[in-house]
Structure 1
């Protein structure tokens, strides 16, 4: 193995990346973490719990999406001021599952029993886990299918999503449906960094423009994505 002088030793923390690339990654990661910190945490367990109860799940199963999607009823339909007791559930604590009773008070979970309980929900031994997050997707992209996409994510227990390459004009059309108590929390990176004639511009211009977007939004001239 070649002996390296101290000044020639690779930067293990950065994977040997050039300085300017480390700066870019630092900014991108920092912004992403800042955006994620604003996500609504009140429903971290609450919504996952009610979905599990509603579907009668007692474990992890594969979901087959039906051709016709039935909207999932939101647990935040004006009843967050009520108190609930969740009994006979197996709750994930970060390492394993343990049986216990939890209460929802003002939309937040607590182990402390409130003075009164409006409704008791028997989980019947069901397993309760926090919702999942999808860190790289392009599903949340436009108004033509946003309702179905949201419903699928909520049904599968995925409440946090990041679209790493999107089209800003499409995002503006769907912002009102996102980041609400009964929807999913989404952040967008907007257009991806690319080299000349490289990915992802070539993909969007040469393939997605004609085969995916034009059938639902109409004719778009070449260069629209890069413009």
Structure 2
């Protein structure tokens, strides 16, 4: 007689998977992907290490899942900012500010998503999400050109440059070495940094000195 999985068993598996994902997310949030060891994750989730591999083919697959989950949250926040009121340039500035401020509020997770050395499978996800950000920015730039608040330009190339500029400008401030040395950084310090990043991005985009 063929084995038939019961609803209760399916629910237990789903709950175990959820705990594994949540505990891995916690590990990455606290110490980056490098701190998310399978044995630690299993201990936090209350499962055997073999259980993790029944839900995910490899450690890299698990990390890719966490990367997708964490980055999609950030993409959604940028999308929300771009959907607010105001002209396209104002909305784009708001979205860039949202990106930078959220990164600085959660520096370890942001570092993990933006710059931490990762396995090829996770790096593929990083590239895919950079394209997702660029696509959102591209639409805003095109809207701005149509509205007349942004000069005519190659919207696709400009959006790619925006993603690169804001991500690269945050690498130093977010790096674990830097953040451990500047644990006493104030909100004013972060505000000044964000203002500087946004000023650079918007001046490059609009040609208007801010």
* TM category, shorter: under 0.3
- The structure with the largest strand share of the pair is 1
TM-score (norm 2): 0.26
Higher gyration radius (CA)? 1
